[in-house]
Structure 1
Amino acid sequence: MVPKGWERKALDEVSNVIDCKHRTPKYVGSGIPLVSPGTIKWGAIDLESPTKRVTTEEYESLMDHCTVEYGDLVLSRNQSVGIASFVDSDKPFVLGQDTVLVKPKGSDPRFLFYNLQSIDTQKTIFKLAGGSTFSRINLGDIRKLKAIYPPLAEQQKIAKILSTWDKAISTTERLIENSTQQKKALMQQLLTGKKRLLDDEGKRFEGEWEEVKLSAVAQITMGSSPKSEAYNDVGDGLPLLQGNADIKNRKSAPRIYTSQITKECHIGDILFSVRAPVGTVAISNHHACIGRGIAAIKVKKNYSQDFLYQWLLSFETKWERYSQGSTFEAVNSNDIKSLNLSVPNPNEQQKIATVLTNADNEIELLEQQLADLQQEKKALMQVLLTGKKRVVVDGEGV
């Protein structure tokens, strides 16, 4: 049902939908960026990431049929079908194949942008693309996309409200990125001894760190897979952790159970992925059975579990270097046991672990705030873009 004062219109009634030129240009090392479906994301158009670039002559040839302006949208026709980027820059770019330019006419650009994101529009696009986000949608179907549109003033107010949420989301994303980079810098300084913390008496820690192999500081249990007929989803036996699919947000997240118990991990153990991608680490929050894709690591006396977890986190990206240029598809127990690391005394280990764990907690809190904002925006879009909740055009608020 169309709300009072709203109208159902096709996309080509509220915008000009302009196709790209269907030819592959000659690419150059540096030049004007080409925006392709793979580089289109919800949000401001990204002109930094595209690696495909063309000369000024190619740009003029490929873009002589249209002029891109602030507020236009670039929509993907394949790969991530129906995703659009908002043009908020006057920098030139080329429309790559399977992209279209959407130029609003008589409609608010931001409202149109949010309307394309709406649940109803995305469901329609998904259906027209053959039920796959990696299929393809025809140009004619794009132009005929139907949606409901309020008067322009109401469009502008809705867009303003949703833009406020987007700004909060972008701010939180930047905070997460900054906090993540700061944590990486801390790991580099603290886990190598380049920066020493203060002890309980306020004095800087001193002394040489101990050079050891991982097997000297921890007990390593390699997983062993139960027989497949022992798998179940009714809770019979123990949860089964088989690999990266059973690790989410640095915690164990088992999907099935097994009635045959082979090797086990316990709550608080470090989980280590031994198959591609090798080296992913997490903390187990389950007493579980571990399959061949997982190893469980528990420190020995006088060593800090939290310190070792942080050290293994810092090593996640170094497996390729460790293997002298070849990418591991799997590692065995000797590969893991032979890892060399430097460890300070137990008190300094714990101090370092506390600082880095606090940094993780701050990032986790920001990530939860981001998830909450995204969910709130999604719910708000659902009621505002359908007219279930009307805005006060001449006042403030919803």
Structure 2
Amino acid sequence: MLPEGWRKASLEDVADIRSGIAKSQKTIVNPISLPYLRVANVQDGYLDLRDVKTIEIDKEKINRFSLHSGDVLMNEGGDFDKLGRGDVWRGQIMPCLHQNHVFAVRPDQNKLDSYFLANLSASPYGKGYFLSCAKRSTNLASINSTQLKQFPVILPPLPEQKKIAAILSTWDRAIEGTEKLLANSQQQKKALMQQLLTGKKRLPGFTGEWKICSLSDVATVQTATSKTQYICENGERFIVDMGSVNRLGNLVCTKSTQHNADLLPKGTLVMPKDDIGGGNIIGRTSYIDRDDLYVLGDHVYALHIGDCDSKFLHFLINSHPINKNLRRRANGTAQLGLGKKDVLRQKIKIPSEFSEQKAIAAVLTTADEEITALESDLARLRQQKKALMQQLLTGKRRVKVD
């Protein structure tokens, strides 16, 4: 039930839906090379213009495929949660074309505000429509121009559309600002790792030598059997298996259990030894931060650390040079595997002083905590915007128009 003064209309009644240029063109009589947007450039709520390719087009067709400021760009396909994703083109590059897998929706500005449409298509309402009519495969979904034209657009009066879009843009700016802070923090941590974990930069008060050794000199490796049979709801502990360590080295356990064998003590590092997803998680480690909360499963090594600070070693193994070497040693076809001996023979360079190891780990832990806080802020802002979209774009909550 829509509020009084609101109505629905098919998108084709209030906008022009334009398909893009195909890469496999036939003979081009009068060619010119121009920038064009691909699916990779059209993200969920923003445009990624860091890598814009060019394409040859006949000069006579430039107007047909050129983007106009105010066009709403939408991808015809992608991951389920990205279907219908897009943003408003603001004329950042002129002229600029769009690929045939990217729709350019040109609203009638007397009936439909571009920013209101972009928010509506990205809202649960919009994504619900696209998913309901999309052609699906295992992990992907796509829509065609006919389905896009039939999208039932909710139409408040134009001044109300603009007010709603302006309110949501406040959240967009907050989200964008937090994303930039997060990217900066991640880059700063990367730089700190490159400097502190190699000895290129020393923390104040430390001048001792660094020593080269093997992982076998500072760690022992434990394996365990599958704990699948012990999975239960509302268990007090978590099973650590192949999917429990992500490519960032974060622990993401989802399987609970009451089982109390192969419990991992605080300070243990867990490392996936097998991977069916291309080897990206092999050799990564996560740090066990509590005693007796995690149970070791299969496909994962538990590294018990001796003559080294375990947090320092966690960061060192996850640094690019060490992790790259470990992943290179993985072998297999359908499933990659990293041998125990290959882990233990990995060479590392560490400070001789235990106190320097702990100091470096403390600096990098602080950087991690800052990143975690920003990720939490970002998730909260996105959830707030999602809830606000659900209310404002459907008329459940009205705005006052000056």
User: 1:194 is matched with which residue?
Assistant: 200
Q: Distance in 1 between matches of 2:263 and 2:175?
A: 40
Q: 1:309 to 1:22 in 2, by over 3 A?
A: closer
Is 1:381 the equivalent of 2:389?
Answer: yes
Once the two structures are superposed, what CA deviation does each residue of 1:21-59 show, in whole Å capped at 9, x if it has no partner?
A: 456249xxx953432334421233333335x5313xx16
Q: Distance in 2 between matches of 1:114 and 1:187?
A: 39
Q: 1:153 to 1:2 in 2, by over 3 A?
A: same
User: 2:273 is matched with which residue?
Assistant: 274
CA contact under 8 A between 2:66 and 2:97: conserved in structure 1? no
Q: Distance in 1 between matches of 2:329 and 2:61?
A: 41
Calculate the aligned-residue CA RMSD, in Å. 2.8
**1:167 counterpart SS class:** helix
CA contact under 8 A between 1:320 and 1:326: conserved in structure 2? no
> Which stretch shows the higher mean deviation, 288-297 or 344-353?
288-297
**2:147 counterpart SS class:** helix
Is 1:347 the equivalent of 2:355?
Answer: yes
Q: Distance in 1 between matches of 2:140 and 2:328?
A: 36
Is 1:288 the equivalent of 2:294?
Answer: yes
Q: Distance in 1 between matches of 2:377 and 2:107?
A: 33
**1:390 counterpart SS class:** coil
Q: Distance in 2 between matches of 1:306 and 1:257?
A: 26
Q: Distance in 2 between matches of 1:343 and 1:192?
A: 8
Is 1:114 the equivalent of 2:98?
Answer: no
Q: 1:21 to 1:54 in 2, by over 3 A?
A: closer
Q: 1:215 to 1:252 in 2, by over 3 A?
A: farther
Is 1:338 the equivalent of 2:335?
Answer: no
Q: 1:97 aligns with which of 88, 97, 100?
A: 100
Residue pairs, 1:245-394, within 5 angstroms: 245=244, 250-257=250-257, 261=261, 263-275=262-274, 276-277=279-280, 278-284=282-288, 285=290, 287-301=293-307, 303-315=308-320, 318-321=322-325, 329-344=336-351, 345-394=353-402
Q: Distance in 2 between matches of 1:325 and 1:255?
A: 29
Q: Distance in 2 between matches of 1:383 and 1:271?
A: 44
Percent of residue pairs bearing the same amino acid type: 31
Q: Distance in 2 between matches of 1:349 and 1:242?
A: 28
**1:212 counterpart SS class:** strand
CA contact under 8 A between 1:32 and 1:53: conserved in structure 2? yes
The runs of 5 or more residues in structure 1 that have no matched partner are 199-203
Q: Distance in 2 between matches of 1:265 and 1:388?
A: 50
CA contact under 8 A between 1:225 and 1:242: conserved in structure 2? no
User: 2:39 is matched with which residue?
Assistant: 37
Q: Distance in 2 between matches of 1:48 and 1:355?
A: 32
Q: Distance in 1 between matches of 2:256 and 2:354?
A: 38
**2:78 counterpart SS class:** coil
Q: 1:338 to 1:362 in 2, by over 3 A?
A: same
> Which stretch shows the higher mean deviation, 106-115 or 371-380?
106-115
CA contact under 8 A between 1:319 and 1:327: conserved in structure 2? no
Once the two structures are superposed, what CA deviation does each residue of 1:70-94 show, in whole Å capped at 9, x if it has no partner?
A: 1211211223432223212133333
**Aligned AA for 2:68?**
E
CA contact under 8 A between 1:273 and 1:280: conserved in structure 2? yes
Q: Distance in 2 between matches of 1:23 and 1:313?
A: 40
Q: Distance in 1 between matches of 2:206 and 2:159?
A: 64
**Aligned AA for 1:305?**
S
* Number of residue pairs matched by the alignment: 378
User: 1:152 is matched with which residue?
Assistant: 158
User: 1:14 is matched with which residue?
Assistant: 14
Q: 1:293 to 1:325 in 2, by over 3 A?
A: closer
Q: Distance in 2 between matches of 1:135 and 1:254?
A: 27
**Aligned AA for 1:179?**
S
**1:70 counterpart SS class:** coil
CA contact under 8 A between 1:59 and 1:94: conserved in structure 2? no
Q: 1:252 to 1:109 in 2, by over 3 A?
A: closer
Q: Distance in 2 between matches of 1:32 and 1:291?
A: 54
User: 2:29 is matched with which residue?
Assistant: none
CA contact under 8 A between 2:329 and 2:342: conserved in structure 1? no
C-alpha deviation, 1:289, in angstroms: 3.3
Is 1:139 the equivalent of 2:139?
Answer: no
C-alpha deviation, 1:205, in angstroms: 1.0
**1:65 counterpart SS class:** helix
The runs of 5 or more residues in structure 2 that have no matched partner are 27-31
User: 1:201 is matched with which residue?
Assistant: none
**Aligned AA for 1:4?**
E
Q: 1:122 to 1:170 in 2, by over 3 A?
A: same
**Aligned AA for 2:2?**
V
Is 1:182 the equivalent of 2:188?
Answer: yes
**Aligned AA for 2:255?**
R
C-alpha deviation, 1:154, in angstroms: 1.0
User: 1:83 is matched with which residue?
Assistant: 85
Q: Distance in 1 between matches of 2:179 and 2:151?
A: 32
